[in-house]
Amino acid sequence: MSLQRTFIMVKPDGVKRGLIGEIIKRFEQKGFTLLNAELMTIDRSKAEYHYMEHQEKPFFGELVDFITSGPVFAMAWEGENVIEVSRLMIGKTDPSEAMPGTIRGDFAAAKEENVIHGSDSLLSAEREIENFFGLLKRRSLEDDFPFEDRKSV
């Protein structure tokens, strides 16, 4: 087991459809810790950097058009094996192959608009968190707000 951080983003279709709360709920229920979150509309250079591994793909232009078309909800989460576990919770890229019970399996209909992004490796998690948030404001929820104090609020 290893404590990891990952970058999760509700894409413009998910924001438009009111799925932010549902997605946060699933990650909280799983026991992960939210480190940072922001509703933002990103410019093309941030989007192109985010999807740099796909820049030679035929769908790259449309992917960047789509991700910059409206607000996204960007989040950094922390937890045990959160990178791999969140990919399982998200489901396959193509929603027609995503299992029921996964976020894409339950809510998405097309691979071009599949509701949510999640980092696929430690290296991309680090790069993506920095691209969207710079250095994290909160290192860990436990650092700023220990669980014992939370119970007394």
Binding site members for ATP: 11, 59, 87, 93, 104, 114
Among 45, 93, 96, 121, indicate the residue that binds ligand UDP (CB under 6 A). 93
* Alpha-carbon dihedral angle through residues 10, 12, 16, 20, given to the nearest 10 degrees: 10
Among 15, 24, 47, 63, indicate the residue that binds ligand UDP (CB under 6 A). 63
Residue 84 found at the interface with ligand UDP (CB under 6 A): no
State which residue, 5 or 117, has the beta carbon closest to ligand UDP: 117
Nearest to 6 by CA among 88, 75, 89, 91: 75
**Beta strand segments in 11-153, E:** 33-40, 72-80, 116-118
User: Annotated catalytic residue: which of 5, 36, 89, 117?
Assistant: 117
SS3 content of the chain, % helix, strand, coil (to 5): 45, 20, 35
Among 38, 112, 142, 144, indicate the residue that binds ligand UDP (CB under 6 A). 112
Q: How many residues bind ligand UDP (CB under 6 A)?
A: 9
Residue 145 found at the interface with ligand UDP (CB under 6 A): no
Q: Contact at 8 Å (CB) between 131 and 118?
A: no
Angle separating helix axes 20-29 and 82-90, nearest 10 degrees: 130
Catalytic-residue membership of 50: no
Q: Which residues are catalytic?
A: 117
Which residues are at the interface with ligand UDP (CB under 6 A)? 54, 59, 63, 93, 111-112, 114, 117, 120
